[in-house]
């Protein structure tokens, strides 16, 4: 087995707030091999975006990051100097953000911003950078790429801007792309297009990707691995096929019930919901964080929660199979 | 861009015409010019004679047309007091005022923008509090008082700088500081607010994610966007400094255009006042136009609107 490209062990993110410390992310582990796609799913506020910003070293100054290990291609990220980290950012790992409308600088042309991404990292001339920008704009499906270089962000639609953001992230040919809900802010009709484009490019260029989303339909189509995040913890991780075939954690099953499946979900039947809200993470958090919303919660849920592992599939629950047997429809 | 500049130029011309009309009407709004010219002891016949001599009996629009025509050729009339052409009178005095205004705005920008940026980078830090203190003090302190304090300290106590006159560059140091310090607070607070806003924006995060250095993020991506409202403000301040340096010019006995305006108002020298208003207004118009062009260059979104 080859060394994973990204290896994260026991990552913790704390945010000091007026009433104490908000434990936004509490000891998560995951790893990713070259060319693999990991989807992190979960509700808003579960710590998905923070986790991705932590990997890029883009957290605000207030947020405290701790990890036993956080390596990229064997290099520890937590102890890296700011300068070394800058070389990595945009060069070997890059990020696509959720907000295409505001993520491009309004004062510079698309061409300038695309070329900057390359010129910051590679000792190439402006001509070569320009050629690369045109090449990538064409790759992300933008027509008349050359004339687009002189346009400003406000002259482009949201879909086009996100294509530009994708092209920008690819300028240096990174090994890892982190895409934080890249389609959430777009029209539904554009969402599928952009996502397909992204996935095709990732496969074509053999890049690893962390895709953050709350759309399980998307996950089913693109993920090699899935990590289900709830209130700052990874409650279940594993190969995508296992997660969809045998979702063990009650929260994962709850999420899956929330999406209608053509042919499977009966017309007129009620869609699943998970009642309640994510608990406050300020102060000490112990036991299972999902217990306040779980149908199978017991007293033991307040204590330490065992981890069940079957191959690469892991989940945390006091019930040995996460009470999956209770929900299975007898064949 | 060219289209934008032409549009702005046309707008500026319309504003200039309006201002010229208003400043011309001032002559009539401030009472009967013939009576003012004739003096307190003049008889009714004298006043009528003066009225015909200067053409005040004709319709106002005709007079305006004539006045505008000669103003465009550089003839702004005769000063009642100096008995000299107003144009050359103003030209003599404008150098001092322009120098002072340019020095003042430069001083204000060079101190306010770096302080504003520094304050925005570290909000609530020592430098932020210091700059806040300086701007509050600057706004609260009347310029005549600040000017006198400077004279007491640097001219009288230490004898380092001349207290009055305009013959050497040393004479301009204290007036520049007093005038510039007055404009500084607004520029500094606006820079700080703009920078704070820009630094929390998504495209700054994008720039960091690209691997741009902190200096590049702050200045190329940040300040370029934050400075846009500051440009407009500085243009207005600059216009204000040219017209409004009257107090500073009087304290330091700099005989500039502001001082001339103050004198002429006291002497009821209407053609001079009128011409000065026109000149100061033209400066405002020119600076606003320049600021618009500069802003359009900085912010591509403005070019299309």
Nearest-Cα distance to chain B for A238, in Å, is 29
Distance from CA of B214 to the nearest CA of A (A): 10
Answer whether B210 sits within 8 Å of A152, measured CB to CB.
no
Q: Is pLDDT at A331 greater than 80 in this prediction?
A: no
Smallest CA–CA distance from B223 into chain A, residue: A107
A51 touches B: beta carbon within 8 Å: no
Interface touch B300/A154, C-beta < 8 Å: yes
Contact B299 A107 (CB under 8 A): yes
**Given an 8 Å threshold on Cβ–Cβ distance, is A105 in contact with B202?**
no
For residue A25, give the H/E element and its range. strand A20-32
Q: Which of A54, A60, A103, A105 to mutate to test the interface with B (most CBs of B within 10 A)?
A: A105
CB of A56 less than 8 A from some CB of B: yes
With 80 as the cut, is the pLDDT of residue B243 above it?
Answer: no
Number of H helices, E strands in chain A: 11, 13
| Residue B244, pLDDT score | 65
Length of chain A: 331
Nearest CB partner across the interface for A107, out of B202, B298, B304: B298
Identify the weakest region by mean pLDDT among B29-43, B64-78, B171-185. Answer: B29-43
Average pLDDT over residues B173-199: 93
Cα–Cα distance for residue pair B138/B104, rounded to 1 Å:
14
| Nearest CA distance, B195 vs chain A (angstrom) | 14
Residue B225 to residue A106, Cβ atoms within 8 A:
yes
Distance separating alpha carbons of residues B255 and B89, to the nearest angstrom: 11
CA–CA distances in Å: residue B129 to residues A110, B115, B132, B194? 38, 11, 5, 17
Query: Percent of chain A scored above 90 by pLDDT?
Result: 52
Q: Which residues of B touch A50 (CB under 8 A)?
A: none
Long-range CB pairs of B62-70 (<8 Å, 24+ gap) are: B63/B24, B64/B21, B64/B24, B64/B25, B67/B24, B68/B20, B68/B24
- The rounded distance, in Å, linking the Cα atoms of B14 and B133 is 42
Q: Higher model confidence: residue A9 or residue B45?
A: A9
E strand or H helix that includes residue A233: strand A233-239
Contact call for B209 and A90, based on CB within 8 A: yes
Average pLDDT over residues B16-42: 79
**Percentage of residues of chain A with pLDDT beyond 70:** 96
Show residues of chain A in contact with B214, CB under 8 Å.
82
Say if residue A142 is exposed, middle or buried (CB neighbours under 10 Å; 0-12, 13-18, 19+).
Answer: middle
Flag whether pLDDT at B245 surpasses 80.
no
Q: Mean pLDDT across the stretch B100-120?
A: 93
Q: What is the mean pLDDT of residues A320-331?
A: 72
Compute, in degrees rounded to 10, the torsion defined by CA atoms B119, B123, B124, B127. Answer: -20
Size of the A and B interface in Cβ pairs below 8 Å = 69
CA distance B113 to chain A (A): 19
Query: Which residues from chain B sit within 8 angstroms of residue A104, using beta carbons?
Result: 203, 206
Say if the Cβ atoms of B209 and A95 lie within 8 Å: yes
Instruction: Return the structure tokens found at A315.
Output: 């989940």
- Out of A89, A102, A109, closest to residue B210 by CB: A89
Tokens of A53: 């910003």
At B51 the pLDDT is 82
Please write the tens of the pLDDT for every residue from A47-93.
Answer: 999 999 999 999 888 899 999 999 999 899 989 898 999 999 999 99
Residues whose CB is less than 8 angstroms from the CB of residue A322 and which lie 6 or more positions away in sequence, other chains included: A248, A249, A250, A253, A308, A315
Structure confidence at residue A261 (pLDDT) = 67
Assess A150–B contact: CB distance below 8 Å, yes or no.
Answer: no
Q: Rounded to whole angstroms, how far apart are CA atoms A53 and A37?
A: 17
Residues 150-169 (B) with a CB less than 8 A from some CB of A? none
**In the prediction, which pLDDT does B27 show?**
72
Interchain CB distance below 8 Å, B210 and A120: yes
If residue B243 lies in a helix (H) or strand (E), which one and from where to where?
Answer: helix B228-244
pLDDT band at B205 (very low <50, low <70, confident <90, very high): very high
Which CATH number does the domain A6-92+172-327 belong to among 3.40.50.720, 3.10.20.90, 3.40.50.300, 3.30.110.30? 3.40.50.300
Q: What is the average pLDDT value for chain A, to the nearest integer?
A: 89
pLDDT digits (tens, 9 = 90+) for B187-198: 999 999 999 999
**Quick check: A106 contacting B, CB < 8 Å?**
yes
pLDDT of residue A3: 80
Q: Give the mean pLDDT of B91-111.
A: 91
With a cut of 60, say whether residue A330 has pLDDT above it: no
DSSP A89: B
Whether A141 and chain B come into contact, CB under 8 Å, resolves to no
- Domains, chain B, ordered by start: 91-255 (1.10.3720.10)
Cα–Cα dist A217/A254, whole Å: 14
Distance of residue B215 Cα from the nearest chain A Cα, in angstroms: 12
pLDDT category of residue A262 using cuts at 50, 70 and 90: low
Integer Cα distance of B147 and B175 in angstroms: 7
Min mean pLDDT across A282-296, B115-129, B285-299 is at A282-296
Question: Which residues does chain B have within 8 Å of residue A95's beta carbon, measured at their own beta carbons?
Answer: 209
């Amino acid at each position: 087995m080859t060394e994973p490209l990204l290896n994260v062990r026991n990552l913790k993110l704390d945010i000091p707030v007026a009433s104490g410390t908000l434990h936004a992310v509490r000891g998560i582990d995951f790893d990713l091999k070259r060319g693999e796609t990991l989807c992190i799913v979960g509700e808003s506020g579960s710590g998905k975006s923070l986790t991705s910003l932590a990997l890029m070293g883009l957290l605000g100054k207030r947020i405290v990051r701790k990890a036993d290990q956080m390596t990229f291609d064997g290099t520890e990220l937590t102890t890296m100097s700011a300068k070394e980290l800058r070389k990595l950012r945009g060069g070997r790992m890059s990020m696509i953000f959720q907000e295409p409308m505001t993520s491009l600088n309004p004062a510079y042309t698309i061409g300038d911003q695309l070329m900057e991404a390359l010129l910051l990292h590679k000792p190439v001339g402006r001509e070569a950078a320009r050629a690369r920008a045109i090449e990538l704009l064409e790759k992300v499906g933008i027509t008349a790429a050359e004339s687009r270089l002189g346009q400003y962000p406000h002259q482009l639609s949201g879909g086009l801007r996100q294509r530009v953001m994708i092209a920008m992230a690819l300028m240096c040919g990174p090994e890892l792309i982190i895409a934080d809900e890249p389609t959430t802010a777009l029209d539904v009709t554009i969402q599928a297009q952009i996502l397909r484009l992204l996935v095709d490019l990732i496969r074509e260029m053999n890049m690893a990707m962390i895709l953050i989303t709350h759309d399980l339909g998307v996950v089913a189509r693109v993920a090699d691995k899935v990590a289900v995040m709830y209130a700052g913890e990874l409650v279940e991780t594993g190969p995508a096929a296992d997660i969809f075939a045998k979702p063990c954690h009650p929260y994962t099953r709850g999420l899956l019930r929330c999406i209608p499946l053509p042919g499977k979900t009966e017309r007129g039947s009620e869609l699943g919901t998970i009642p309640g809200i994510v608990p406050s993470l300020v102060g000490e958090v112990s036991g299972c964080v999902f217990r306040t919303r779980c149908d199978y919660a017991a007293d033991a849920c307040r204590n330490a929660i065992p981890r069940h592992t079957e191959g690469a599939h892991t989940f945390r629950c006091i019930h040995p199979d996460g009470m999956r047997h209770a929900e299975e429809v007898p064949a | 861009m060219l289209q934008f500049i032409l549009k702005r130029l046309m707008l500026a011309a319309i504003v200039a015409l309006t201002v010229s009309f208003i400043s011309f009407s001032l002559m009539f709004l401030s009472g009967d010019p013939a009576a003012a010219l004739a003096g307190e002891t003049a008889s009714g016949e004298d006043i009528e004679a003066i009225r015909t001599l200067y053409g005040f009996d004709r319709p106002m629009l005709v007079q305006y047309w004539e006045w505008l025509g000669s103003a465009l050729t550089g003839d702004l009339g005769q000063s009642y007091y100096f008995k000299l052409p107003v144009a050359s009178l103003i030209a003599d005095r404008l150098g001092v005022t322009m120098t002072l205004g340019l020095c003042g705005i430069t001083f204000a920008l060079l101190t306010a923008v770096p302080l504003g940026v520094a304050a925005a980078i570290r909000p609530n830090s020592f430098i932020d509090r210091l700059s806040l203190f300086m701007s509050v003090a600057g706004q609260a302190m009347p310029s005549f008082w600040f000017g006198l304090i400077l004279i007491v300290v640097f001219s009288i106590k230490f004898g380092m700088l001349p207290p009055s006159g305009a013959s050497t560059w040393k004479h301009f140091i204290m007036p520049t500081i007093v005038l510039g310090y007055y404009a500084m607070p607004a520029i500094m607070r606006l820079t700080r607010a703009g920078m704070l806003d820009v630094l929390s924006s998504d495209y700054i995060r994008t720039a960091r994610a690209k691997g741009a250095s902190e200096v590049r993020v702050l200045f190329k991506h940040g300040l370029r966007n934050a400075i846009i409202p500051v440009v407009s403000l500085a243009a207005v301040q600059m216009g204000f400094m040219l017209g409004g340096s009257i107090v500073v010019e009087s304290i330091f006995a700099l005989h500039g255009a502001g001082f001339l305006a103050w004198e002429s108002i006291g002497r009821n020298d209407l053609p001079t006042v009128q011409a000065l208003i026109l000149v100061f207004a033209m400066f405002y118009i020119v600076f606003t136009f320049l600021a618009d062009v500069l802003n359009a260059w900085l912010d591509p979104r403005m070019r299309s609107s």
